[in-house]
Amino acid sequence: MKLTLTPSKKSNSSTTVDIDSSSTSDCDVRIHEGSSYQANIPPLDPTPLATDHEAILFWRPTDSISENDLIEYIDFARRKHRMNEEQALAILQICKYKISTSKLLMQQYTPEIDEWTVEEKCLFEQAYKFYGKMFSRIRQMLPDKSVGDLVRYYYSWKKTRLHKSLMDKHEKQSQLMPYDDDDADSDDDERNTTSIPLPTKDLDHRGKMSIDQTGLDEQECCNCEVTNINGSIGPMHSTPKGILCDECFVYWQNSGLMRPELYPSKSSIKKIKRPPKNIALDLDSLIAMNLYENASTSNTDNNDTIDPVEKLEDDIRQELAIIQSHNQAIDLLTNQCRDGMETMRIPFLTSSSSPFMINNSNSTTVTPTSNWSTEEILLAIQAFGKYGKDFDAVARIIGSTKTVADVETFFLECRERYQLDMVIEINSKPITNVQRKQQSSTTNNDLNSNRSNTNDIVLC
Amino acid sequence: MTTNKRTFSYMMNPTVGKYHYGPGHPMKPYRVELTNCLVLEYKMHKKMNIYCPSEASIHDMTRFHSEDYVDFLSRVTPNSQEFQRFYSIYNLGDDCPVFTGLFDFCKLYTGASLLSATKLNHKQSDVAINWAGGLHHAKKFEASGFCYINDIVIAILELLKYHERVLYIDIDVHHGDGVQEAFYFTDRVMTVSFHKYGNNFFPGTGSMYEIGAETGRYYSINVPLREGITDDDYYELVFKPVISTVMQYYRPKCIVLQCGADSLGGDRLGCFNLSIKGHGKCVSFVMEQNLPVLVVGGGGYTVKNVARCWTYETSLILNEQLSNDIPFHDYIEFFAPDCQLHPNLFNPKIENGNSRQYLELIVQFVNEKLRLLAHAPSVQMHDVPPDLLDTDNHIGGKPTRRADASNEFYDDDNDVDRTD
């Protein structure tokens, strides 16, 4: 019975075909009975502690270190010694939670750093392209690394940008569609990048050029840069690609490609292609990167030279970490708000239990009761005043202790007692703009007096 | 151990991600490494002891498996002609390929499960978690369904030394046939499995009529389900009622929970439609029973969802709230673009083939069988807790003599009517 290879697993329809072929194996599929299949049950033997399996205790939670210290320590381990978290915690635990001693111990204990040189990385990528996931074959190309190391590296490499680099994608795209080489805008929407998009700069030189050119009498073809002074060559055509001279325009219309240049262009700087999406290039950052490189060679403090690209990657990682922590904070706050809103409603209604208990229970299922407490009646009357006969809204205001049906019955029964009709009538008078100013003060007074009247009626 | 302050152990082996089943194979040990990564990133180490378990020995494995099978596994290497003759005998090959480091991998996850069982036995921990284990299909002398060594059986055998009755719950989408078969004849282990059954779904066993045999009759429960079952149906109509009844009638001393994540929606091989929260509800229900629990992994073939699911369930076990946004770490691209802990896994293309009546029928059948448990005589003998025996001064080991009625006719103690 095959687990992966049965196609019938996924769809119902193909099973009728498969049942015939596998009917012979059906009789094999049953629970086997007999001594050769069952396990031997050991007798119950509650003897106290025998030898323990030797296991290394990595970590035991403790109160002796504050959380911030711990986080700082782990970051330190990661940055300085490239240790992952479990090793850092293990060392801390061994040193009995003293941070200073564990830092010293870390320097002595260097973990096997899985350093991959650039050649090894290239070799791995080539081998992967050739063999796919057959790690034993890949190992033949990289005999220094064990299969386990290769697997590890594969998983960490898989999702990095090197694997799905944007430059490679752009290359592929441009190979497929050569005439769209210059115009990368339409490609960007189709491209499915897994990386998080960064702000891009618009480097549409062509756009700037066309604006410049329309102001001048002299017009230049974007492709062959023939200047058209006062119509010497012929009509210039304005196209999405820019302003083209007649020949270039005809060529473009027929083939969709730009007419190839037969001679070096006057100003090849104008032909700067736009960088692929998500890459922001500007002169300042390039200069800065250059400075990094120059600076790092003279820097003797660090053991390894800071690769500027790596530094940028680190920066990106930090920013992403900050984004995620912001997301978490937002999540926490929204949850708190939600809880807060509920606690504001519920403690007002339930008379017996204390507000603190309700905060902890964090539940919204309060069972509906048939008795109307004083607070509920108060709420109901005010709600009626505000919403009129909208029982739904009133029920919502009171909360989950009263259903809509309860509110309706209350309304019908206690109409006269609490003069609900009057309450609704007074408060539901439509206030027009003209009357608003006049009536605002009076209606407020009325409302207040009404409310106090109804209060009196209720309480007495 | 008071019920308020429970201790938790987590088995973390740093090399578990180094094993690869081969090209195109859905089982990826790397998912455990991803889970470990997330657990540490969410700072859950604050509440539990983390162990790096030692490897299991051949002797440990032969407690259940046959010697020649384990011996073969220890010696076999991939791409070698002389061993390939024996592959079919042990069911190695397509589903259970021979890959580099196979036996190390087996030793690793079996050792972790065994250590977890030991921790529970010596009461050093209330709950032990081993996501690398849970390979429930392996049989006594052959591999099956991506499983080579059945670490669950070996762990239960260890637990049986200190606990009279062990309950095994399996929420993997596949039937837990290896474990059921191993304990089919005994009443000291009750196996309960919720799985997809029908249409030749692997492994083909697991109908509700498989209830055990001889002494183990009624001690195997199978809940066969159709595809596309959703959270509410699974938990409210099936899992909770069945497990409540089992707890009531069987009263186990400890529980082993296999949390196969292929019952989630969107799994590469599975066909259920559970969400991560729904899957987790089952885990929290088991935790509420206040018994020692051994939690193991199992199936799960969409790596990122498996990691999310098991991380969430670890948080449920520790009673810790996790933010829905996954904290940034080296492997966050696996969870891109949403980087959420609870994505929507519902697959609308799979229709729910489980009607309410069907589910109620199955649960009713299961309840009937469980009620028969109370009348089965063998249970009562084991139901006596050890405390009672101690107070009767049994340390010396003298058996009590039964009082015989004067009109009783029998030869000796061994004269019984039934022949077993």
> In this predicted model, what pLDDT tens digit does every residue of B97-136 receive, in sequence order?
998 889 999 999 999 999 999 999 988 889 999 999 999 9
Q: Is pLDDT larger for residue A305 or for residue A132?
A: A132
Q: Do the strands B189-196 and B166-170 form a parallel or antiparallel pair, or are they unpaired? A: parallel
Asked if A193 is an interface residue toward chain B (Cβ–Cβ < 8 A), one would say: no
Cβ neighbours of A314 in B, within 8 Å: none
How far is residue A446's CA from residue A32's CA, in Å, rounded to a whole number?
A: 86
Contacts of A32 in chain B (CB under 8 A): 181
- Whether A53 sits inside 8 A of B162 (CB atoms) is no
Option in B160, B180, B204 nearest A1 (CB)? B204
Say which of B65, B136, B137, B175 is annotated catalytic: B137
What is the three-class DSSP state of A236?
A: coil
pLDDT of residue A292: 64
Does B26 reside within a domain? yes
Using the beta-carbon criterion (under 8 Å), do B184 and A327 form an inter-chain contact?
no
pLDDT band at residue B138 under the 50/70/90 scheme: very high
* B163 has catalytic annotation: no
Confidence of residue B323 (pLDDT cuts 50, 70, 90): confident
Rounded to whole angstroms, the Cα distance separating B296 from B310 reads 10
Burial B243-276 (b: 16+ CB within 10 A, else e): bebbbebbebbbbbbbbbbbbbbbbbbbbbbbbb
Residues of B with Cβ-Cβ distance to A35 under 8 angstroms: none
Question: How far apart, in Å, are the Cα atoms of B339 and each of A163, B41, B306, B316, B342?
Answer: 20, 13, 14, 20, 9
Q: Comparing A1-15, B39-53, B273-287, which segment has the lowest mean pLDDT?
A: A1-15
In this prediction, residues A91-118 reach a mean pLDDT of: 70
Residue B143 φ/ψ, nearest 5 degrees: -85, 165
Instruction: Report the pLDDT value the prediction gives residue A196, as an integer from 0 to 100.
Output: 37
Determine which of A209-213, A415-419, B86-90, B122-126 has the lowest per-residue pLDDT on average.
A209-213
Confidence of residue B220 (pLDDT cuts 50, 70, 90): very high
Mean pLDDT of B294-310: 93
Task: Please check whether residue B83 lies inside any domain of the structure.
Answer: yes
Q: Residue B307: which domain range?
A: 8-371
Inform me whether the pLDDT recorded for A162 exceeds 60.
Answer: no
B 12-31 residues with CB < 8 A to A? 12, 14-15, 17-20, 22-26, 30
Q: B403 pLDDT exceeds 70?
A: no
State the Cα–Cα distance between residues B13 and A58, nearest whole angstrom. 10
Q: How far is B256 from chain A (nearest CA, A)?
A: 16
Q: Does B149 touch chain A (CB under 8 A)?
A: no
Q: Are strands A242-244 and B49-52 parallel, antiparallel or unpaired?
A: unpaired
Is B404 known as a binding-site position?
A: no
Predicted local confidence at residue B106, as pLDDT: 94
Find out whether B301 is annotated in a ligand binding site: yes
pLDDT at A171: 67
Tens-place pLDDT, residues A379-411: 888 888 877 777 887 787 777 677 788 888 888
Question: Domain A374-428 belongs to what architecture?
Answer: Up-down Bundle (1.20)
10 Å CB burial of residue B174 (0-12, 13-18, 19+) is: buried
A128/B contact by beta carbon, under 8 A: no
Instruction: Please tell me if residue A9 touches chain B, with a CB cutoff of 8 Å.
Output: yes
Contact A61 B153 (CB under 8 A): no
Q: Does CATH place domain A119-161 in 1.10.10.60?
A: yes
Minimal CA separation from B408 to chain A, in Å:
32
- Percent of the residues in chain B that have a pLDDT greater than 70, as a whole number: 88
Cα distance between residue B379 and residue B190, in whole Å: 12
Share of chain A above pLDDT 70, in %: 43
Q: CB count, 10 Å around CB of A406? A: 20
Pairing of strands A237-239, A242-244: antiparallel
User: Residue A24's pLDDT band (boundaries 50, 70, 90)?
Assistant: very low
Q: pLDDT for B349-363, tens place per residue?
A: 888 888 999 999 999
B12, B30, B64 member nearest A58 (Cβ): B12
**Interchain contact, B184 vs A61, CB within 8 Å:** no
Residue B147 per-residue DSSP state: B
B79-106 b/e (C-beta count within 10 Å ≥ 16 → b): eeeebeeebeebbbeebbbbbbbbbebb
Nearest CA in chain B to A60: B49
Contact A86 B36 (CB under 8 A): yes
* Least reliable range by pLDDT among A105-109, A256-260, A285-289: A105-109
- Is A320's CB within 8 Å of B332's CB? yes
Q: Nearest-CA residue of chain A relative to B353? A: A12
B residues 171..230 contacting A (CB < 8 A)? 174, 177, 180-186, 188-189, 199-205, 210, 213
Q: Which residues of B touch A60 (CB under 8 A)?
A: 49-50
Let me know if residue B386 belongs to a domain. no
Q: Where are the domains of chain A?
A: 67-109, 119-161, 223-255, 310-351, 374-428
Residues B18-34 have a mean pLDDT of 90
Q: Do B328 and A323 touch (CB under 8 A)?
A: yes
Q: State the CATH number of the domain containing residue B50.
A: 3.40.800.20
Contact criterion met (CB < 8 Å) for A132 and B23: yes
Q: What are phi and psi of A278, to 5 degrees?
A: 75, 5
Is residue B382 assigned to a domain?
A: no
In a domain, B416, yes or no: no
Number of domains present in the structure of chain B: 1
Instruction: Count CB neighbours of A292 within 10 A.
Output: 19
